[in-house]
């Protein structure tokens, strides 16, 4: 029986691998406070809520702060020209969101000059966080930042994103979709299970053959000259059948699209739109002491592009 231990370990590992879900993104949100805007307690609390947003909606909320503008970004930009500065921040923020492959919302803050810029991904704004929501977030955070309430700006901003996404998800799922109201529910095709069973049978047959061959070799090695033992036939058949069935169902799910990551994300919480963002819309404004309080939209919307 000891000779079977390594074989059983390998089979268990393969069995777990076949049944394991796809690897998810390691990081759905983060706060990088290089500009030293926030206290540790504020960052800790905000990070907890950001984790909840990522877990529930599979969307990122990333906050990056800087002490100033990098030299390569501000090179050739007239920093006395407010329109030029706004364009620079729009394009810089979109570039950073693209580089980090942000799937959701990206918030950028600089101390010198004092500026807030927020971008929202094109798929995120379809159902979970619209451009109006983005502008409301900009206005809310600017009001706090202009009053030197940096921690409150972070906490209010994160809470606003969380509450808005929850409300959008509830509203969307409460409204019947045209496909659901006009088309009958598609029945599961019985041929899918036939294909799965056939695949499982083939895999089980191969695995049983391999296990039986290994058992016979180990038995022959233990007792030279003895006839191959068939005592392991039942065990090998059982293990092979289990592994084959699992493999068959896994392969069927993969090829039929039932285990697609987008399909798995289509829950009530994520409002049914799980596609990743490929472009971004940007808005923001200055929050320095001499900045006006009414132009929270900054330079308007920016649909991305290279900088």
By CB atoms closer than 10 A (0-12, 13-18, 19+), residue 85 is buried
Q: Are residues 123 and 231 in the same domain?
A: no
pLDDT, tens digit, 9 for 90 and up, residues 227-266 = 555 455 555 555 555 665 565 556 555 555 444 444 444 4
Domain that includes residue 259, residue range? 2-22+191-264
β-sheet with 29-33: strand ranges across: 29-33, 60-68, 104-112, 115-121, 280-286
Q: Give the model's pLDDT for residue 9.
A: 47
Structural domain includes residue 293: no
282 with 136, same domain: the answer is: yes
Number of domains in the chain: 2
Residue 94 lies in a domain: yes
Sign of CA dihedral 23, 28, 32, 38: negative
- Whether 78 is covered by a domain: the verdict is yes
pLDDT exceeds 90 at position 188 = no
Task: List the single range of 82-86, 117-121, 177-181, 278-282 with lowest mean pLDDT.
Answer: 177-181
Region of poorest pLDDT, from 26-40, 52-66, 113-127: 26-40
Q: Is the pLDDT of residue 195 over 80?
A: no
Chain centre to alpha carbon of residue 70: 29
Q: What is the pTM of this model?
A: 0.61
In a domain, 242, yes or no: yes
213 and 143 in a single domain? The answer is no
Q: What whole-number distance in Å separates Cα of residue 173 and Cα of residue 155? A: 27
Give the per-residue pLDDT at 19: 43
Q: What stretches of 27-149 show up as alpha helix (H) in DSSP?
A: 40-57, 71-74, 82-99, 124-127, 131-146
Residues 81 and 218 in one domain: no
Rounded to the nearest integer, the mean pLDDT of the chain is: 76
């Amino acid at each position: 029986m000891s000779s079977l231990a390594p074989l059983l370990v390998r089979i268990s590992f393969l069995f777990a691998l076949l049944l394991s879900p796809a690897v998810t993104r390691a990081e759905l949100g983060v706060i990088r406070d290089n500009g030293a805007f926030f206290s540790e307690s504020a960052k800790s609390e905000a990070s907890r809520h950001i984790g909840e947003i990522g877990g529930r909606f599979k969307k990122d909320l990333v906050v990056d702060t800087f002490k100033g503008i990098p030299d390569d970004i501000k090179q050739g930009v007239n920093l006395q020209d407010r329109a030029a500065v706004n364009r620079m921040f729009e394009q810089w923020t979109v570039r950073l969101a693209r580089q980090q492959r942000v799937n959701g919302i990206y918030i950028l803050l600089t101390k010198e000059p004092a500026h807030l810029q927020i971008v929202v991904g094109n798929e995120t704004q379809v159902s979970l966080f619209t451009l109006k929501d983005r502008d409301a977030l900009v206005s809310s955070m600017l009001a706090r930042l202009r009053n030197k309430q940096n921690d409150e700006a972070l906490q209010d901003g994160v809470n606003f994103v969380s509450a808005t996404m929850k409300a959008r998800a509830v509203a969307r799922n409460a409204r019947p979709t045209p496909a659901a109201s006009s088309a009958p529910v598609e029945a599961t095709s019985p041929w899918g299970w036939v294909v799965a069973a056939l695949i499982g049978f083939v895999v089980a047959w191969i695995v049983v053959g391999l296990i039986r061959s290994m058992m016979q070799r180990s038995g022959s090695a233990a007792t030279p000259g003895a006839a191959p033992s068939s005592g392991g036939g039942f065990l090998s058949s059982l293990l092979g059948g289990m592994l084959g069935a699992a493999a068959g169902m896994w392969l069927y799910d993969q090829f039929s699209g039932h285990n697609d990551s987008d399909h798995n994300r289509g829950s009530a919480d994520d409002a049914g739109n799980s596609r990743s963002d490929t472009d971004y819309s940007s808005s923001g404004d200055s929050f320095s002491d001499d900045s006006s309080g009414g132009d929270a939209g900054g330079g308007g919307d920016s649909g991305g592009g290279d900088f």
